[in-house]
Chains A and B, each alone.
Chain A
Amino acid sequence: MKTILQLIRKDYKLFWSDRRAVTMTFIIPIALIIIWGAVFGNLNKGGTATKLHIAFLNNSTSPIGKKIERVLDSSKTFVLIKSYKDENGKRIPFDTSSIQNYVRKGSVSAALVIPADALSDTAFGLKLKFYYDPKNDLEMQMIDGMLQKTIMTEIPDIFMQGMKNQAVKFLGLDSGKAFNNEIAKTVGKYFKIDPKWITNPPVDSVMSMAGGSDSAKNSFFQNILQLDKVQLVGQDIANPWATRSVGGWAMMFLLFTLTATSSALFEEKKSGVVLRLLASPISRVQILWSKYLYNMSLGFIQLLILFTAGCLLYQIDIFSNFINLVLIIIAAATACTAFGMLLSSISRTAGQANGYGMFLILAMSSIGGAWFPTSFMPDFIQTISKFTIVYWSMDGILQVLWRNASIFDILPHIGILIGIAVLITSISIWQFKKGHVF
């Protein structure tokens, strides 16, 4: 037993002396838990900590339309965008056409329109138009669900009033009132509720009055809220799931590959090959450029093969917008290569580079939107995500594959990725000059 304990002691001693192992075991998981906690914590609160942005247009002049707008405006769940900026930077209120274009462009994932005839005298319930772009399925489900919940939770009296009005309209004032009272008695009898609550309900108690269970509420109200859903983007895509997710996974694998190949520089140094190379007519700058171009081309080939596999296995359409896909892939590979070179320049050993790489890749993938939509994350994480390579690469790939974006649409993505690459490469060169690799 004493020997075993001594062996265990030896292993702990070795473990604590390896800073990389300690970091990988404790620091990185804690950091990732904090990031994921922020994201999942937010989801568990029903997304209420972060507001979902949707475009909104109210064409109805009815008090009900105004009330819905007021309720959504004051909602903790949604931010309503009611105008867009034209080419001159002037804000123009949406109309039925521009709000659809706004969704098509990808500025938001969904738009809610209250039509002029949202609550007509001839129809039962409330009709709303819902335009959407399911570029992110999870986000779409969240918006759809939260929208219905908000409307039905906050303004149930609309529907009660609507039902009573319908009865009065078709049966006349006296018969209508009598009918409503009879209905209230019947509902009260079977659901054990005071009929007065039904005929004259307090606004915030109607949901519980409707039976107390969520399923009862939902089935009841689903019939009176009619969301006319119109998908504006991606209707023709053969495999929406694969098309949506391929970018995120591709970026994560690319980062892992390029981190590994960049850290190979340390192996070459350790073996003495770097010394041999520099003893021949080769400069440090040439070695760095060769590494950069090699990693970039490898990244490009990897992404291309990955997308081709996606095309063959999951019918992801890569050929209808192939040139733009190639351009965004080159930009992504350039930025990821710069990231790998940065790791080499700031690390002392291959192990350290891989440790830093692992942490940064997992962090960038999670906050960059590779695993879950950035719109679910707290505002500050959403801001940080825009500084990640994963965010811009994924969004660029999605623009190309999902929205069939033109070169002008993806120019900002390409520009930002190249900008990130230039910035990171400058830092790397500065670090290499005073660093440990050479």
Chain B
Amino acid sequence: MIKISNITKQYPTVTALDNISLTINKQEFFGLLGPNGAGKTTLMNLLVGYLNPDQGEIHIAGEKVTQDCLHTRKNIGLVPQSLALYDDLSAQDNLDIFGSFYHIEKTFLKERIKEKLESVQLYERRKDKVKTFSGGMKRRLNLIASMLHDPPILLCDEPTVGIDPQSRNAIFDYLLMLNEKGKTIVYTTHYMEEAERLCKRIAIIDFGKIIAEGTIDELIEKLPYDETILITKNQITTAKIDILKQFGSVIDENDHYQLKPNAGFQLSQFFESLEKHTISYKFVELHKPTLESYFLHLTGRRLRD
């Protein structure tokens, strides 16, 4: 459905994207995971035709995407990172305006607006000015404003920034429902929890390069260890942390140490060592590796560093 081939995009002082290639399949929920400034938004802007690449090509449903090709945009709905709404207009007026650009028949558009407002529980507030909405309501409106032309592809650029967990969950459920109904969704985020919850397949982007791509299980499988060990930071563990370094690399974090086990790590040997050095088990937690662990493994940094 979306084919990105050897895309490079440079700004005066930075290479935002460096020879990126990706293929996103039809009806896939695809995640683009990376820290701030990794190049996610630039890639979204290229997908939508807002920017032209310096090198490479993007094809959507077989058509090449360029700034001048308006036709491909009918297949896409972009949910921008910012709240791209007119604050002084009502929700209904906003949707009327944004829907009108797709030349949808007036009565049909009216029906579509009603349906979308109802789907995100905003119909009762349709006549209220957007500036009176809460952050979560604005985010929901921002989302449906991109879907009035019923595009087969939805590009969501961090659509849950700055909202409460309840509103975030509502948006997640809505997107999952859309995906189940056949929409192809490309979702950028720097929250690994979001990617893990929503995306069937992800690409990890860092400094403008795709550093990993696959399903979450595939990526975690690539880790040289099966679990991450968190050790509570206190006087005892701090005094004896050097002893534990024989089992892997230890990262000093705010309130705990994280142990990334070496290849061939044996859990039984680790617990024996704890017992031998009188380190209580209660200071130790075993975790299944996550995307965060994988990112840390690849880059030596956390996603939100």
List residues of A whose CB falls within 8 A of some B CB.
270-273, 275-284
Note all chain B residues with C-beta closer than 8 A to A281: 70-71, 73-74, 101-102
Note all chain A residues with C-beta closer than 8 A to B145: 276
Query: Contact mask B33-74 → A, CB, 8 Å, 1/0?
Result: 000000000000100111000000000000000011011011
Least distance between B183 CB and chain A CB atoms (Å):
16
Note all chain B residues with C-beta closer than 8 A to A272: 80-84
Verify A279–B82 contact, CB threshold 8 A.
no
Report the bound CA distance from A104 to B290 in whole Å. Answer: 88
Among B71, B86, B101, find the residue whose CB has the most chain A CB atoms closer than 10 A: B101
Indicate whether A280 sits within 8 Å of B98 (C-beta atoms), given known contacts A275-B45, A275-B50: yes
Verify A279–B86 contact, CB threshold 8 A.
no
Note all chain A residues with C-beta closer than 8 A to B85: 271, 273
Indicate whether A271 sits within 8 Å of B50 (C-beta atoms), given known contacts A279-B78, A280-B101, A281-B73: no
Q: Is the interface of A mostly helix, strand, loop or mixed?
A: helix
Verify B146–A276 contact, CB threshold 8 A.
yes
Chain B: interface size category: 20 to 34
Report the bound CA distance from A284 to B68 in whole Å. Answer: 9
CB neighbors of A among B132-182 (8 A)? 145-146, 149
Verify B86–A283 contact, CB threshold 8 A.
no
Least distance between B45 CB and chain A CB atoms (Å):
7
Please give me the residue from chain B that is nearest to A277 by CB atom: B101
Verify B68–A275 contact, CB threshold 8 A.
no
What are 27 A-B pairs at a CB distance below 8 A?
A: A271-B83, A272-B83, A273-B84, A273-B85, A273-B86, A275-B45, A275-B78, A275-B80, A276-B80, A276-B84, A276-B98, A277-B101, A278-B49, A278-B50, A279-B48, A279-B49, A279-B146, A280-B101, A280-B102, A280-B149, A281-B73, A281-B101, A282-B70, A282-B101, A283-B68, A283-B70, A284-B67
CB of B113 closer than 8 Å to a CB of A: no
Note all chain B residues with C-beta closer than 8 A to A279: 48-50, 73, 76-78, 80, 146
Among A277, A278, A280, find the residue whose CB has the most chain B CB atoms closer than 10 A: A280
Note all chain B residues with C-beta closer than 8 A to A284: 67
The 5 tightest CB contacts between A and B, nearest first, are: A272-B84, A272-B82, A279-B78, A281-B70, A276-B84
Note all chain A residues with C-beta closer than 8 A to B86: 271, 273
Report the bound CA distance from A280 to B146 in whole Å. Answer: 9
List residues of B whose CB falls within 8 A of some A CB.
45, 48-50, 67-68, 70-71, 73-74, 76-78, 80-87, 98, 101-102, 145-146, 149
Note all chain A residues with C-beta closer than 8 A to B146: 276, 279
Please give me the residue from chain A that is nearest to B149 by CB atom: A280
Among B45, B76, B80, find the residue whose CB has the most chain A CB atoms closer than 10 A: B80
Note all chain B residues with C-beta closer than 8 A to A283: 68, 70
Report the bound CA distance from A280 to B50 in whole Å. Answer: 10
Please give me the residue from chain B that is nearest to A278 by CB atom: B50
Note all chain A residues with C-beta closer than 8 A to B67: 284
Report the bound CA distance from A284 to B80 in whole Å. Answer: 18
Note all chain A residues with C-beta closer than 8 A to B48: 275, 278-279
Note all chain A residues with C-beta closer than 8 A to B50: 275, 278-279
Among B48, B71, B81, find the residue whose CB has the most chain A CB atoms closer than 10 A: B48
Least distance between B58 CB and chain A CB atoms (Å):
14
Please give me the residue from chain B that is nearest to A285 by CB atom: B68
Verify B82–A271 contact, CB threshold 8 A.
yes
Please give me the residue from chain B that is nearest to A438 by CB atom: B50
Least distance between B305 CB and chain A CB atoms (Å):
26
Among A278, A279, A281, find the residue whose CB has the most chain B CB atoms closer than 10 A: A279
Least distance between A282 CB and chain B CB atoms (Å):
6
Note all chain B residues with C-beta closer than 8 A to A277: 101
Report the bound CA distance from A211 to B82 in whole Å. Answer: 81
Please give me the residue from chain A that is nearest to B101 by CB atom: A280
Report the bound CA distance from A367 to B83 in whole Å. Answer: 43
Note all chain A residues with C-beta closer than 8 A to B78: 275-276, 279
Report the bound CA distance from A283 to B145 in whole Å. Answer: 19
Please give me the residue from chain A that is nearest to B50 by CB atom: A278
Report the bound CA distance from A34 to B45 in whole Å. Answer: 47
Report the bound CA distance from A270 to B83 in whole Å. Answer: 10
Note all chain B residues with C-beta closer than 8 A to A273: 84-86
Please give me the residue from chain B that is nearest to A270 by CB atom: B82
Please give me the residue from chain B that is nearest to A284 by CB atom: B67
